[in-house]
């Protein structure tokens, strides 16, 4: 089913919107909380990254059985087959390791590394900018990821999705312009007016 053919009146769609709204509100609250922590204790983004993930590990204990079953299924996938151009450029030892690695496990590891890069970037950004900036950047990143997946899997965007994408991108552009150009321009005008009053 393409995204253009989605039933926008279904209960599952409404539930999805409610979950998305709740996640956005909690994410915004967490951004403000992290900003306050950084202001009070210093901008140690790497410690925040470690503890926020380490302390959440016990929450996976009730799912241990399910996770074990899924890992067994991933491990039973066929071995990874790399294109000859790629494998020939790798060291022989790495080629042997990859040839014995199940394809699904490799994809899981690759996904984990990209997630690590993404969340490290978010934490570094949150240590150097405001919570509002982080939230807007994350919203645009999610939208780009969503649109990329639509393109990758051959779906079509409906009119409402196009409107939503335009609103998100437009809002991000306005915020970026305001923080990089608008504020500086007003400050320069205020400084110029203050100097004229002094003279």
Write the DSSP assignment of 63-95 as a string of letters: GHHHHHHHHHHHHTSPBP---HHHHHTS-HHHH
Residue 112, pLDDT score: 92
Residues of the chain with pLDDT under 50: 2-4
- Residue identified by tokens 């994408």 is 165
Instruction: Write down the pLDDT at residue 80.
Output: 87
pLDDT in the model for residue 7: 55
pLDDT (0 to 100) of residue 128: 85
pLDDT at 113: 93
pLDDT, position 6: 53
Q: How far apart are CA 196 and CA 194, in angstroms?
A: 5
Q: What is residue 72's predicted lDDT score, i.e. its pLDDT? A: 95
- Please tell me the total number of residues recorded for the chain in this structure: 199
Strand partners, 102: 79
What is the pLDDT at residue 68?
95
């Amino acid at each position: 089913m393409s995204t253009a053919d989605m039933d926008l009146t279904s209960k599952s769609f409404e539930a999805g919107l409610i979950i998305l709204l709740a996640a956005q509100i909690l994410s915004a609250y967490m951004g403000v909380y992290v900003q306050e922590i950084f202001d009070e204790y210093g901008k140690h983004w790497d410690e925040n990254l470690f503890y926020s993930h380490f302390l959440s590990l016990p929450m996976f204990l009730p799912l241990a059985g399910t996770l074990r079953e899924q890992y067994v299924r991933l491990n039973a996938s066929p071995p990874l087959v790399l294109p000859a151009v790629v494998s020939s450029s790798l060291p022989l030892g790495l080629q042997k390791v990859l040839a014995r690695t199940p394809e699904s496990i490799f994809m899981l590891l690759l996904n984990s590394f990209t997630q690590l890069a993404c969340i490290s970037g978010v934490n570094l950004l949150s240590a150097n900018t405001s919570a509002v900036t982080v939230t807007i950047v994350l919203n645009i990143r999610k939208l780009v990821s969503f649109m990329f997946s639509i393109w990758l899997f051959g779906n079509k965007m409906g009119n409402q999705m196009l409107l939503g994408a335009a609103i998100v991108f437009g809002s991000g552009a306005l915020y970026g312009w305001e923080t990089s150009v608008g504020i500086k321009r007003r400050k320069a005008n205020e400084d110029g007016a203050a100097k004229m009053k002094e003279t």
